[in-house]
Every structure is written in structure tokens, then in C-alpha cells.
Amino acid sequence: MATLGIPRNTIEILQKYHFNFQKKFGQNFLIDPTVLDRIIRAARITKEDCVLEIGPGIGTMTQYLAESAGSVVAVEIDQNLIPILKETLAEYDNVSIINDDILKVDLNKIVEEKNGGRPIKVVANLPYYITTPIIMGLFEKQVPLQSITIMVQKEVADRMQVGPGTKDYGALSLAVQYYAKPEIVANVPPNCFIPRPNVGSAVIRLTKYEQPPVTVRDVDRMFAIIRASFNQRRKTLVNGLGNAPELGLSKERVAHALEEMQLSPTVRGEALTLAQFARLSDLLGEM
């Protein structure tokens, strides 16, 4: 089978199967071998690894992964791509294809069956509209994983790695940085895809922490506080948290906790570090 990293081969197979791109699945296929190589290198794939690929498309990156990894599990939602994948991956006996929605499939079960429960590596060229739920699902469901190396919209990659006080800093930054160390490894222009997206992309590697960098008594409460803090960015924490019915906190309580942390009563969520949110969550829990 000809390598799909070459645009001509990609176009050939799409024409052969009369494939139509589905807007609802956010399909943009990579057609740049140098970018594919960089993703494989960034993910540090070896023959020891079991790799989960989300949204393999026609199997372009899957071919590269199959060459480098011990085994690959590719989860594809679009059933029109399954016959294409069976052809493009026919010569690899270390790839299994699952036709399912990544948000609904039991990933812990897959890791158990395919890798004996040992941590896997996730590699994906993600559809932009569901990047966040996929990443958060992987972390929150406690799927055993070493790292996630993904192609995402450039601004989403920026959001994952920025710190307090920047305009991109928000709930996603804090959630990702609680679970993993983020690092942008490549910027990818629109002309590396077919069809061309309207925005630039970036490859970001999230290396999972053995232990989160902060300790907090109740992780769910901390993230509820973080979400409420950024729901209305322009509001002070006292107002934002005091007005969030799901938290059941009075403004006085929030003000008192901030005072204890020696923070101004007019401070906004975007000024707090992850460690400060953990402390705030613990204080509000004690009161």
C-alpha cells in the first residue's frame, strides 16, 4: 500500500471510494510527511507502546504509528471510512480498528484488553469542535496513559499551556495543567491538510503526571470553583463564586477565604494559579 502522507495517494484513495468529507465530523486529513514524522517523534513512540489513535480518517497517521509502535488501536466514528481503513492498513497486523464514538467507548476496557491495563499513549489529529471533551474525558475517566500527543487548533493549544494573567488562561488551562505537563511541539499551517481548515493548527504533547502538581482535598469542588470563576471572566471572584447557585457559597465566605489567602477582595479568577485555586477550594470546604 502506498504511503498516504503523500497528497497524490490521499486524493487517489478518496476518489476510488467516492469519499465525501463530513462537516459534522470535522474531517481534515493531514497530507504532509514532515508533520507526520514530527508527531511520531514528539509522541516518542517505540515498539514497547500500545497507541490509541482517535479519528484515524483514511489511516494516514495510522500507517506511521503502525511502523513505530508495538500495537495501534484506532477508533473511528465515521462508518464510511471503515472500508478505506481496511484497505490502507491491510498490511499491518498490529492495528485494530473500532468503529465507535470515542466519547462513548469504554477506554479503560480497551486498555485492559489491548495492553493488559498498562498505560497507553494517545495520538490524534482531533476535530476542533470536540477537542476539550475528548481530552477531559481521557483525564477524568482515569484512563491509564503516559501521554497525549494531539493536533489541535492553534488557539486551543495556546490555551492549554498558558499561565495566569493572560487572555487565553481559563478552565481548560487549569484542567490540563492539573493532570499533565503541556508542551507545544510544532505549529502546522492550513496547507498541510485536505480540505484546508480556516485556522492554523499546533501539535501539543501532554505528558501525564504520576501525581498532580498540587494537592487538594476535593478535586471536583476545585474544578467547580474554577469553572464558576471563568464563567463570567469580567466578574470578581467574590461575585462570580457568590452568584454561582451550584456552589452554594455566600459572597462573605468567598471574601473571607480570599482575605485569609492575602488576596484582594476584587481579584479575578484569571489572576490565580492552580495552587491558589487548590488552597481556595480547601478553605471554602472547611468553612
Burial class (CB in 10 A: 0-12, 13-18, 19+), 164: middle
Domains of the chain: 7-208 (3.40.50.150), 219-286 (1.10.8.100)
How does pLDDT run across 116-157, given as a tens digit for each residue? 999 999 999 987 778 899 999 999 999 999 999 999 999 999
How does pLDDT run across 201-232, given as a tens digit for each residue? 999 999 999 999 999 999 999 999 999 999 98
pLDDT of residue 7: 81
How does pLDDT run across 182-195, given as a tens digit for each residue? 999 999 999 998 88
User: Pairing between strand 145-153 and 71-76?
Assistant: unpaired
How does pLDDT run across 13-39, given as a tens digit for each residue? 888 877 776 666 667 888 899 999 999
Number of neighbours of residue 42 by Cβ within 10 angstroms: 19
CA trace torsion 223, 228, 230, 235 (10° rounding)? -150
How does pLDDT run across 96-124, given as a tens digit for each residue? 999 999 999 999 999 999 999 999 999 99
- Is 62's pLDDT higher than 90? yes
d(CA 178, CA 208): 9
233: confidence class by pLDDT, cuts 50, 70, 90? confident
CA trace torsion 161, 170, 190, 63 (10° rounding)? 60
